[in-house]
Structure 1
Amino acid sequence: MHDAPGRRYHCATLRSHPELHAAAELYARVFDYDTPDLHLNTNLLSALVRNGGSAIGARTEDGELIGFAYGFAGRDREGSEFHYSQAAVVDPAHQSAGVGRLLKYAQRDVALGWGQRRMRWTFDPSLARNAHFNFNTLGAEGIGYEDDYYGRPGTDRIVVEWALDRHHDPYAAERALQPPAFEPDDWGRQVPAGDDAIWLPVPAEPGDSAVCRTVRAGLREIVTDGRVLVSCTRIDDRTAAHLAVRRLDEEEE
């Protein structure tokens, strides 16, 4: 059970058709998907639950479904295996109440139950708030950048990896660092941060397309050069800053 200010939630795996149908409807409504090709198939969700995947629902105390996350067993071209979290959605009326974290930790438990030690997912490079949640709240890292991830323009994504059974965070000190007082004129400019680390100031909220292209180019460069993103800190209402550091080989830790 999860406590949040004035509210109480719990998570569980969704198994019945009515549960999965409600989750698919919530997914389409929150993302404002109005075409069949973007809707979820409840048979597919049921198969995922039975075969290495996840379909997690978050409910209020009175049973209302207000959050949903799903994923599946994945494997990359290098042979690394992981749980791939395709999406997590929260009803707008219950956002900023800790439901997203609750869903991710419930999904983590499912993944570990399948023997999957890492989880991956992606997020839009223009969403600094999502970056902060992924890196600073969950303790995951941005490990890659994919152009047109969904096969259409405007779907660039940063690939995130979360070590599910990590006993200590090797990037804890870096995540706690506070960025300099960057301003909008600094957006997209790489700034050395010592020990081969780099700050990249970005807009705190999505905005001008030309700025977004500059920021995306900067993010693409720093995560394809042996670095990982470990933090994204909001400086003020206009500006946030990513921090990229050299990737550590945890097997040697």
Structure 2
Amino acid sequence: MTGVRIRELHRIEELAEVYRLLGEIWRAEPGSAPISVELMRALSHAGNYLTGAYLDGRMVGASVGFLAAPVGRALHSHITGTTVANGVGFALKRHQRAWALERGLDTVTWTYDPLVRRNAHFNLAKLGAFPTEYLPSFYGVMGDAINAGDESDRVLATWPLTAPHVAAAAAGAPYLVDVPADAVVGLRDRDGLPVPGRTDGKVVLIDLPADIEGLRRTDPGAARAWRQALREVLGGLMARDARVVGFHRKSSYVVQLPD
């Protein structure tokens, strides 16, 4: 994004600004942003990843990560958020990739809610990461405005930094996958509700709702139905060693079953 500047953060005043920004993004209660200033201070001092994104001198995004297993190879990106669109999140991830490669790391991981379409498209198509593990109720009960009223299922996204398709994605070429004509639909969005289908094909498509966050506010029952259906279908397939290989038309996971 033209004009965005990203830099590592160390000073308490900068970390307090990250705390305020993340609290605003997650619409958390006062004093309960997703990560504390004290923990960010410790992570930064120990040499982990903590950056802010600035536009016209104002912080508009931040990212916090820490070194992870396998030792010497991976960074786990714990939280990344922005208050504006138009490429700030992409710029942060590109910076994170460069930071990791400079330190000899070859993998970045993070968790995300597999029901959120825009995040799935960003992670799989824009970045070229892959979901590698389904994690039911990973964070337990969460009280922020985004997650309240729903279980905190997550998938672990794995980003192979040196893969050719990731290098191409970082240069601006989205990672798109071809869907064969004989692909079956394992979960379909029909009038805002999940409808289970077939999972016996070589390739299975799994639809996501258009706006799960809106459903949590306007139709909690439908939101819960989606959570349970995705846990059973996507989680069930991944438990059988199926691989999520892409995200199709900004709406559907593409899952390949093992031979």
Give yes or no for TM over 0.5: yes
Q: Give the C-alpha shift of residue 81 in structure 1.
A: 4.7
Q: Is 216-225 or 137-146 further displaced after alignment? A: 216-225
Aligned residues of 2:203 and 2:256 also touching (Cα < 8 A): yes
Mark the runs of 5 or more structure 2 residues left unpaired by the alignment: 142-149, 216-221
Aligned to 2:146: none
| Counterparts of residues 158-197 of structure 1 (less than 5 Å) | 158-168=155-165, 175-177=176-178, 183-184=189-190, 187=194, 189=196, 191=198, 196-197=202-203
The 1:245/1:52 distance shift into structure 2, 3 A limit, reads: farther
Aligned residues of 1:134 and 1:140 also touching (Cα < 8 A): yes
Give SS of 1:175's match. Answer: coil
| Counterparts of residues 31-180 of structure 1 (less than 5 Å) | 31-34=26-29, 36=31, 38-60=33-55, 62-75=56-69, 81-91=73-83, 94-95=84-85, 97-152=86-141, 154-168=151-165, 175-177=176-178
TM-score, with length taken from structure 2: 0.77
1:231, 1:59 → 2: CA distance?
Answer: 31
1:174, 1:89 → 2: CA distance?
Answer: 22
1:63, 1:190 → 2: CA distance?
Answer: 50
Q: Is 196-205 or 154-163 further displaced after alignment? A: 196-205
TM-score, with length taken from structure 1: 0.79
Mark the runs of 5 or more structure 1 residues left unpaired by the alignment: 248-253
Which one of 186, 210, 232 corresponds to residue 217 of structure 1?
232
Structure 2 residue 206 is matched with structure 1 residue 200? yes
Give SS of 1:130's match. Answer: helix
2:122, 2:184 → 1: CA distance?
Answer: 20
Please, what is the CA RMSD of the aligned residues? 3.0
State the percentage of identical aligned residues. 25
2:115, 2:163 → 1: CA distance?
Answer: 28
Which one of 18, 26, 30 corresponds to residue 25 of structure 2?
30
- Supply the AA of the counterpart residue of 1:127: V
The 1:204/1:231 distance shift into structure 2, 3 A limit, reads: farther
Q: Give the C-alpha shift of residue 211 in structure 1.
A: 2.9
